[in-house]
Amino acid sequence: MFSQPGKRSLFAASVTAIVLAAAAVFGAPPGGGAAAAQSASVDQASGTQTPYAYLPVVERALPTPTATPVPPASWALVGSMSAARSDHTATLLTGGPDAGDVLVAGGNDADLNPQASAELYDPATKTWSPVGSLSTARVGHTATLLTGGPDAGDVLVAGGDDVNGKALASAELYDQATKTWSPVGSLTAARAGHTATLLASGPDSGCVLVAGGDDVSDNALASAELYDPATKTWSPVGSLSTARAGHTATLLTSGSNSGDVLVAGGADSNDTALAGAELYDPATKTWSPARSLGTARYNHTATLLVSGKVLVAGGEDSEEEEVANAEQYDPTSNTWSPAGSLSTARFDHIAALLLSGQVLVAGGESGGFFAAIDSAELYDPASNTWSPTVGMTTARSHQTATLLASGQVLVAGGIDPNGNAFASAELYTP
């Protein structure tokens, strides 16, 4: 279920032999000067004349090739947020005066209590600055960048748990122009640990689909609803076939189901991990079963690959044990297939699609409650394999990850191995 605390020769030194005089002058061997000249050579491996050269040579080093060496991947700390936080949201802004900045909002504070504060990360200066406060402190909420309607470019924050651990129905908008927050109606059902997906096709293109989550009694929900930016209203939109929280939702971009939303995994009200998956069709506003995952899991990650397939990795099983395997969903065939295994089983980690098309997975918990780790690894879709990359500077779980325009990944906040939320942030440079 929704998890929150309390829950990677020079060969250029080739040399050349230059014939400086005629064989007649220097005493060429039998066979004539031309033959001798042709036999003159340099052993490229040792940089010395071969025994067959009868003519004197002068060695001259050729220019070194100009290929630019690729620096190794690295992590580097980049300031700290103004507040410690975990289970918060991070949204890359794409329009307005702060385009390219990252908006971080809410989450648990250093004492693991929900907070209302928000702040912006500026990649140009690598600094953080406060930017107002949510009207309601919350954790386990969602944040979605709107692309249509009068509020295009603004960020919709919905649901989450309040300071009493109860699911919220309230929602609010962050206005980039004024850097302020304002309430924007209420969901039809209070929920936390749900998903929010911006639709890109059908009659509701630009609307936000919210699905599942835990209710005020910590029971998993099957209900789903739509937020319409044009009217700033919420309305029910069918129900999942299975109530779930701690699941993932991915907008598909290929196959016959392009534009549909794939919901996968999660946990039911008994914290039993689910393998089931289903599809939401924006054209008909209906849900239908999809092929099930090979491994039941929740608190995993789902990443849309360049190919249009969806990579699901890690998570927890019904015994609250971390999962190492990964699998791919193919929208064209509606099937799942193995995608290797992580070198370290983990859950509550982050996953980010890099500009190279590889997927970075980092941090999370492994080996026990609040057992945050710093290890990171890369998934290569071309070879369907995982390989280690340099680990983070700090072990953390329950953090956020945002791909910046530079191709770097900003990882912010999270929980350390002692179970404490902290404010540090770091950049991964591939």
The stretch 174-189 carries a mean pLDDT of 96
Name the nearest CA neighbour of 138 among 208, 194, 217. 194
DSSP state of 23: H
Q: Does the structure show a pLDDT above 90 at 54?
A: no
Q: How far apart, in whole angstroms, are the C-alpha atoms of residue 427 and residue 429? A: 6
Backbone angles phi, psi at 417, to 5 degrees: -65, -15
Name the average pLDDT for the chain: 87
Residue 19 pLDDT grade (very low, low, confident, very high; cuts 50, 70, 90) = very low
Long-range contacts of 69-72 (CB under 8 A, 24+ apart): 70/8, 71/429, 72/8, 72/390
> Domain 74-429 belongs to what topology?
Neuraminidase (2.120.10)
pTM given for the model: 0.84
pLDDT at 4: 63
pLDDT of residue 148: 85
Which tokens go with 289?
């079963």
**What tens digit of pLDDT does each residue of 257-296 get?**
999 999 999 999 999 999 999 999 999 999 999 999 999 9
Per residue in 130-179, pLDDT (tens digit) is 999 999 999 999 999 999 889 999 999 999 999 999 999 999 999 999 99
Are 181 and 132 in contact by the 8 Å Cβ rule? The answer is: yes
**Contact by Cβ (8 Å): 171, 227:** yes
The pLDDT value given to residue 392: 98
Residue 34: in which H helix or E strand, if any?
helix 33-39
Work out the average pLDDT over 45-51.
31
Is 219 a residue whose pLDDT tops 90?
Answer: yes
Region 205-225: what's the mean pLDDT?
98
Q: Enumerate the domain spans of the chain.
A: 74-429
Sign of the Cα torsion 368, 341, 329, 334 reads negative
Pairwise CA distance, residues 395 & 414, whole Å? 9
Segment 4-9 shows an average pLDDT of 45
Residue 108 reports pLDDT greater than 80: yes
Q: 10-19, 85-94, 162-171, 178-187 — which is least confidently predicted?
A: 10-19
The type of residue at 256 is S
Q: How far apart are CA 346 and CA 355, in angstroms?
A: 24
Residue 353 has pLDDT above 90, yes or no: yes
Instruction: Give pLDDT, residue 97.
Output: 87
The percent of residues in the chain predicted with pLDDT above 90, rounded, is 81
User: How far apart are the C-alpha atoms of 261 and 195, rounded to whole Å?
Assistant: 11
Q: What pLDDT score was predicted for residue 278? A: 98
**DSSP type of residue 336:** E
